[in-house]
Structures are given as C-alpha cells and as structure tokens.
Amino acid sequence: MKTNPLTIADTTFHSRLFTGTGKFSASPLMREALQASGTELVTVALKRVDVHQQQGDDLLTHLQHPQWRLLPNTSGVRNAQEAVLAAELAREALQTNWVKLEIHPDPKYLMPDPIETLRATEALAKRGFVVLPYIHADPVLCKRLEEAGTAAVMPLGAPIGSNKGLRTLDFLEIIIEQSRVPVIIDAGLGAPSHAAQAMELGADAVLVNTAIAVAGDPVAMATAFAQAVQAGRTAYEAQLAQPTAHAVASSPLTAFL
C-alpha cells in the first residue's frame, strides 16, 4: 500500500518516520534498528560527531547508508548565536545544509526556547540552510517561523523523552490545519500507537528516538513504529470515518425554502 511521498525543500521522502541516534546501547544495534525502521532521515547530534578524525568507532561510520540523509542537530547550544555557529560547523563537517534546530537552555526538561529559535531560524534561512526547528506546539510561533523561512516545523507532542504521546493534541491540530510547511511531530512519542495517532491527524511525519533506542528490542520496536506510521498515514489519506457529532436540533431551519 503506497502513500503519497513527503517533500521537504525539494527532497522527497517515502518514509515518514524520522529517527534519532541517541541513547542506543551500541552503534551496530542502532544501525540495525534504523534499517528496520525504513527511515530516510536520521538526526545526529553535532556534539556527538567527531568532526576532525573520522575513523575508528565514530558514530558517523555507522551512519553511512545510501538511503539515509543525515540531519545534524544543534542540541547543546543555548542561544541563536551558538546555533548558527553549530550549523555552520555541521555544514562543513557533514556536507549538508540541513539542520535540525534545537535550542534548549533548560537542561532539566529540554524545553525549546521560542525566541532564540525564531532568531536562529531567520539567520540560518538567510544563510541558505534548510531549517527544521524543534519547538513547542505553539501555532503562532509556527506561523512566525514560516515567515522566517523555515522548511518545516517540529512541534513536540509531549516533553522530550517522556513517552507520554500527544499531550499537545489540541494545539497540534491547529498547527496542522494552518501550516504551509510540513509538520513533523517531534518528542514525546512513546508507543507506535502515538505515532499512528499523529499520522491520522494529518502530521506529515514523526521523529522517534527514545522509544526505539531504549526498547527491550530496538529492532522490533523500530519495525513496529514503521508499521504504525504507515498505517496512520494510509488511514489519513483514506479519509477516516468519524464518530457522528451532535444530533440535529429541533426546529427546522430550512423549512422556509
């Protein structure tokens, strides 16, 4: 069953499951899980990449795959200025102008800073980056980011790493309805059912990391997520039947016709 491909900044993706590379117990296991997920976009923290000596057991050697586009993220930076620097470094090291913008000065909950994120998006878009910012599920911020030239928005479903699912549901619905750029639900998806729900809502893609990396069997879990994303998307494109809303009120309104 084929679903429509997703296009971000002129690049087409057939898999709508984006994945992360953190928290895996071993790099070979990570590679196997990513393969099982069918992903085509893999985010990697710039701070984990050994920029200078690409040899030995560097993470990058495990991420060479014809199907995988690498998406460096700026995790660890605290403001827009640092984010721009990190993105420039990543562009040089990984030969990509794509960047997942993550600015979370708060080390406890890793809450994204909306003001710095907007500033960084503006600056990076001007420098020719394809920017994918990680943000709160804030509809107005999404519109401001669009205007700043973002390539997509990545609102969170729940606090990062919390596995709680779509706690921001009402706001995600507004974002999806209004957005002119792809909406990728990032953070908080703890189970394949969460991913399926996001896709049924009309999200363009999801990004899953923790739930796969820390599962008892990451490879099997990656497969389950792949199936869930596919099922959710198929259902969305097939136009879900909805529970019937309110009953018809009493007095007819069109009897005058």
Tell me which residues touch other proteins (CB under 8 A): 143, 173, 177-180, 239, 241-246, 248-249, 252-254, 256-257
Q: Please give the C-alpha separations between residue 130 and each of 15, 16, 49, 169, 215, in angstroms, as whole numbers.
A: 19, 18, 20, 26, 31
For CA atoms 197, 200, 202, 204, give the dihedral sign.
positive
Q: Does residue 100 carry a catalytic annotation?
A: yes
Catalytic position from the list 2, 23, 47, 100: 100
Q: Which is nearer to other proteins, 108 or 246 (CB)?
A: 246
Q: How far is the CB of 233 from other proteins (least distance, A)?
A: 16
DSSP alpha helices (H): ranges in the chain? 27-37, 80-94, 114-126, 139-148, 169-178, 192-201, 210-213, 218-237
Q: How far is the CB of 221 from other proteins (least distance, A)?
A: 30
Q: How far is the CB of 256 from other proteins (least distance, A)?
A: 4
Q: Which is nearer to other proteins, 1 or 253 (CB)?
A: 253
User: 241 Cβ partners below 8 Å, 6+ apart?
Assistant: none
Q: Which is nearer to other proteins, 81 or 178 (CB)?
A: 178
Q: How far is the CB of 24 from other proteins (least distance, A)?
A: 37
Q: Which is nearer to other proteins, 64 or 244 (CB)?
A: 244
Beta-bridged to residue 43, according to DSSP, are 20, 71
One-letter identity of residue 165: G
Please give the positions annotated as active site: 100
